[in-house]
Amino acid sequence: MQRRQFLPLAAVALAGCVGPSDGSGPRNPPTTPEGGEPAGGGGGGRDLRIVDAVPREGDDGSLVFVITVENTVGATRSDVLVGRATVNADSGETEYEARREVSLDGDAEAEFELVFDVPYEEWAGQGSLSYGWEGEI
């Protein structure tokens, strides 16, 4: 009899551990095109290199992907960053794309934002991100 009283309590205690994400981040963290080093980071022949990428919620509630780019040469270089956000829902999978041309002076590093047309809350815990350079993602 005491065992029957314990089972409902155990189910309540475990409910918080097995439930969906608390929305603090994506179920699938950002990835690069092949899941390895960011495009341009190794042997791709590009002088601009992606060194960091972090998703966040924009002031208007949209999904913003902040990408840190480094210019590895002494001359100004330009390229196009591309990001894809995928949101999984009961109705299916939806993909959003954002792109931005970036230009950096020689031997410089800067952050660039890719803003997606999807609310951060809709993406968080249910989506994934991939990113890279145009033509490589």
| Calpha distance 133→36 (Å, rounded) | 14
Which regions in the chain score pLDDT beneath 50?
Answer: 1-25, 32-44
Torsion of CA 117, 35, 81, 110, to 10 degrees: 110
pLDDT at residue number 45: 65
Tokens 């060194």 locate to 51
Tokens 């994934």 locate to 128
Domain coordinates in residue numbering, the chain:
24-133
| Calpha distance 46→110 (Å, rounded) | 16
Pick the CATH number of 24-133 from 2.40.50, 3.90.105, 2.60.40, 1.10.3470: 2.60.40
% of the chain with per-residue pLDDT over 90: 61
For residue 65, what are the CA distances in angstroms to 43, 45, 87, 96? 24, 24, 14, 12
Amino acid at 9: L
pLDDT at residue number 14: 32
For residue 128, the surrounding DSSP H or E stretch is strand 127-133
pLDDT at residue number 99: 98
pTM above 0.75, yes or no: no
